[in-house]
Chains A and B, each alone.
Chain A
């Protein structure tokens, strides 16, 4: 888990644009992204994230959504074009967790968001 930066100024709508991402779940993209973290290990997310963190992950599992609920994350971005199955998306819908998908690799997605957040400071 790498915490990139703190920001009060970008939203999930900005993230969608920056990452050319597809919205897989969530109607309200005005949600503010407090911090961005990238991880494939959920225990690291539980250990390192803050309330309102946006998680970039290459891990596709229902536990990603459960972790987002438990740790009060503001959303999840699946990277590298990974497609979460129906079970994952219906859990996200039921739990109110916004989910985006991007074809970018984790490193590229993290880099673009880091730049965007830094420029906003």
Chain B
């Protein structure tokens, strides 16, 4: 069993060229720590969708990865426009994406539902004009 591990990653808004790099690094880290491949895949999908959200909508964001023998948690805090209606944003298909975001294959209103689907614990809270804070826990045991 691996030791506890913690790391912080920065994500820059509108940096489409590097979108996904942080999540790839997180995935590599989890693999290196010997986390079960199914768990690695779930965390990577959560991280990637959340990273894309920061790139697409926010000014900047931080991703805090924490790995313990019991679970993997991700905290994604961004500075950005926030989400006025969280219940609406959680509905599959609801989106405020631009044409540019859709051309990359995202922005179809699936991100947050995809994140929730892969999470054992999911918490989101947002303040308009300030930003959004997302917490996800994926259990290892």
Q: Does A41 contact B (CB under 8 A)?
A: yes
Q: Does B45 contact A (CB under 8 A)?
A: yes
Q: Which residues of A contact B (CB under 8 A)?
A: 40-44, 46-47, 51, 59, 61-64, 66-67, 69-72, 95
- Which of B17, B104, B114 touches A46 (beta carbons < 8 Å)? B114
Q: Does B41 contact A (CB under 8 A)?
A: yes
Taken together as a complex, chains A and B put the C-alpha atoms of A52 and B111 apart, in Å, by: 22
Taken together as a complex, chains A and B put the C-alpha atoms of A67 and B103 apart, in Å, by: 14
Which B residues touch A47, using CB under 8 A?
A: 110, 113-114, 117
Tally chain B residues at the interface, Cβ within 8 Å.
Answer: 24
Which partner residue on chain A sits nearest B117 by CB separation? A47
Interface string of B5-44 (1 = CB under 8 A from A): 0000000000001011001100100000000010001001
Which partner residue on chain A sits nearest B107 by CB separation? A43
Q: Which residues of B contact A (CB under 8 A)?
A: 17, 19-20, 23-24, 27, 37, 41, 44-45, 47-49, 52, 103-106, 108, 110-111, 113-114, 117
- Which of A44, A64, A70, A95 touches B48 (beta carbons < 8 Å)? A70
Are A61 and B104 interface neighbours, CB within 8 A?
A: yes
Taken together as a complex, chains A and B put the C-alpha atoms of A95 and B24 apart, in Å, by: 10
Which B residues touch A59, using CB under 8 A?
A: 105
Are A63 and B45 interface neighbours, CB within 8 A?
A: no
